[in-house]
């Protein structure tokens, strides 16, 4: 009988594995220690180049994806829950074709912008023009800081932004309309919009209500004031995005990428030989709602009802059953396009034990299972927990 390496991995006796580029199909994965601490795998490495184009709650670590792609992938990879596109980005730097699916239009936009091929010079020229036009027009807005002029904006936008911030964001949106790299500028716009919300600094992921005056900030441990103005964020993030895209363009290989918007339970997929994915956790995150500002600003369509295991559905017995059935449906759908003998790597926090024996319902064999101690998540969240890495085979 096969013994799984599962409970050996949390041991801290060996040094966590960081020599990612040395992984080959012959590497014995069960010998590797994935329990990185902040010192082993720093935030700047986990968020290298385009991985930090826009914050995203629920992203997995690119280096974990890299290990499994180097080990298993041959030509083409699929991530049926591609989110912000971590698997797809990593695949493109390793010379693999990639297909990603996500139910959220904003996530698809983000993954597409991250993994596009850019004519970097043309992008820089266009970005310079955008910045000049924005600077010129924004000066006029600043002089009239308390005017309105955003009456046509939605109630949400008027509630969550200082009038000046809102007018600057709407101005940027207008300037970028119809440009060659409009999608990339849209992501810059949304990142600036996230920072400019009237949200307390300690609640940027899930703010309850707007702050309208000075407040006790639990992130900076002092009194902070609500954010006035978005222009500084627009400028900063535009320059940062250019730098990140430049770095990624050096690494991106000439491969084919397809980001599909839809429900992974039903969507049609091209052929691939490996899956590396992290499904939503049951009852934890509302993936559309986390980027509400983006949906409101860009007028994107929402498909909340297609989300598997949304936070608003809770984690009751019934919700867990629906969740499990939904995930199985996704993997069954993927199995039709997965090469025989192809591997499926699933990274998931399986607190409710919903993945035990799930491979059987999907028509896969269980090859391995690891438990990874997550002692420092990307960003400033500092929660401690275990996540499972399941390796299945068709």
Ligand X SMILES: C[S@@+](CC[C@H](N)C(=O)[O-])C[C@H]1O[C@@H](n2cnc3c(N)ncnc32)[C@H](O)[C@@H]1O
Give the interface with ligand X as residue ranges (CB under 6 A): 56, 58-60, 81, 83-84, 86, 101-104, 107, 263-265, 278-280, 287, 306-308
Centre a 10 Å sphere on the Cβ of residue 313 and count the other Cβ atoms it contains: 17
CB of 274 to ligand X, least distance (A): 15
CB of 133 to ligand X, least distance (A): 32
CB of 158 to ligand X, least distance (A): 27
Query: How far is it, in rounded angstroms, from Cα 326 to Cα 330?
Result: 6
Token couple for 226: 């609500």
CB of 293 to ligand X, least distance (A): 16
CB of 114 to ligand X, least distance (A): 10
- Burial string for 352-371 (b: 16+ CB within 10 Å, else e) reads bebbeebbeebebebbbbbb
Token couple for 256: 């084919």
CB of 308 to ligand X, least distance (A): 4
* Nearer of residues 269 and 339 to ligand X, judged by Cβ: 269
* Nearer of residues 60 and 370 to ligand X, judged by Cβ: 60
* Nearer of residues 226 and 280 to ligand X, judged by Cβ: 280
CB of 288 to ligand X, least distance (A): 7
* Nearer of residues 104 and 227 to ligand X, judged by Cβ: 104
76 Cβ contact partners less than 8 Å away, ≥ 6 residues apart? 96, 97, 98, 99, 270, 271, 272, 273, 274
* Nearer of residues 102 and 116 to ligand X, judged by Cβ: 102
Residue nearest to ligand X (CB): 83
| Cα end-to-end span (Å), the chain | 19
Query: How far is it, in rounded angstroms, from Cα 84 to Cα 51?
Result: 8
* Nearer of residues 85 and 163 to ligand X, judged by Cβ: 85
CB of 287 to ligand X, least distance (A): 3
Q: In the block, which residue shows the tokens 């960003």? A: 379
* Nearer of residues 107 and 274 to ligand X, judged by Cβ: 107
* Nearer of residues 254 and 305 to ligand X, judged by Cβ: 305
CB of 74 to ligand X, least distance (A): 21
* Nearer of residues 46 and 394 to ligand X, judged by Cβ: 46
* Nearer of residues 198 and 204 to ligand X, judged by Cβ: 204
CB of 82 to ligand X, least distance (A): 6
Query: How far is it, in rounded angstroms, from Cα 267 to Cα 269?
Result: 6
Parallel, antiparallel, or unpaired for β 338-348 and 385-393?
antiparallel
């Amino acid at each position: 009988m096969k013994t799984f390496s599962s409970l050996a991995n949390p041991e801290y006796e060996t040094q966590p594995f960081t020599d990612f580029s040395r992984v080959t199909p012959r590497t014995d994965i069960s010998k590797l220690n994935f329990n990185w601490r902040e010192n082993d795998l720093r935030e700047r490495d986990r968020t290298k180049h385009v991985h930090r184009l826009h914050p995203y709650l629920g992203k997995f670590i690119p280096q974990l994806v890299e290990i499994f792609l180097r080990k298993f992938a041959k030509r083409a990879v699929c991530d049926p829950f591609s989110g912000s596109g971590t698997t797809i980005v990593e695949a493109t730097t390793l010379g693999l074709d990639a297909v990603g699916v996500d139910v959220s239009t904003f996530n698809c936009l983000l993954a597409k912008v991250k993994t596009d091929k850019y004519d970097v010079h043309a992008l820089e020229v266009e970005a310079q023009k955008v910045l000049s036009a924005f600077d010129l027009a924004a000066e006029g807005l600043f002089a009239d800081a308390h005017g309105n002029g955003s009456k046509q904006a939605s109630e949400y936008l008027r509630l969550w932004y200082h009038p000046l911030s809102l007018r600057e964001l709407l101005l940027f949106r207008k300037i970028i309309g119809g440009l060659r790299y409009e999608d990339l500028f849209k992501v810059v716009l949304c990142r600036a919009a996230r920072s400019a919300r009237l949200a307390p600094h300690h609640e940027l992921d899930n703010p309850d209500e707007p702050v309208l005056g000075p407040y006790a900030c639990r992130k900076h441990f002092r009194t902070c004031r609500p954010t006035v103005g978005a222009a500084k964020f627009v400028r900063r993030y535009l320059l940062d995005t250019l730098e990140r895209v430049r770095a990624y363009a050096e690494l991106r290989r000439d491969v084919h990428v397809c980001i599909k918007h839809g429900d992974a339970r039903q969507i049609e997929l091209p052929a691939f030989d490996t899956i590396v994915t992290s499904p939503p956790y049951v009852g934890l995150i509302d993936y559309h709602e986390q980027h509400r500002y983006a949906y409101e600003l860009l007028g994107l369509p929402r498909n909340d009802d297609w989300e598997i295991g949304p936070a608003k559905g809770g984690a009751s017995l019934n919700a867990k059953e629906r969740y499990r059935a939904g995930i199985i449906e996704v993997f069954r759908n993927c199995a039709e396009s997965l090469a025989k003998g192809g591997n499926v790597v699933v990274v998931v926090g399986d607190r409710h034990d919903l993945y035990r024996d799930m491979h059987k319902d999907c028509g896969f064999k269980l090859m391995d299972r690891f438990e990874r101690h997550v002692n420092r998540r990307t960003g400033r969240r500092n929660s401690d927990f275990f996540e499972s890495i399941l390796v299945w085979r068709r």
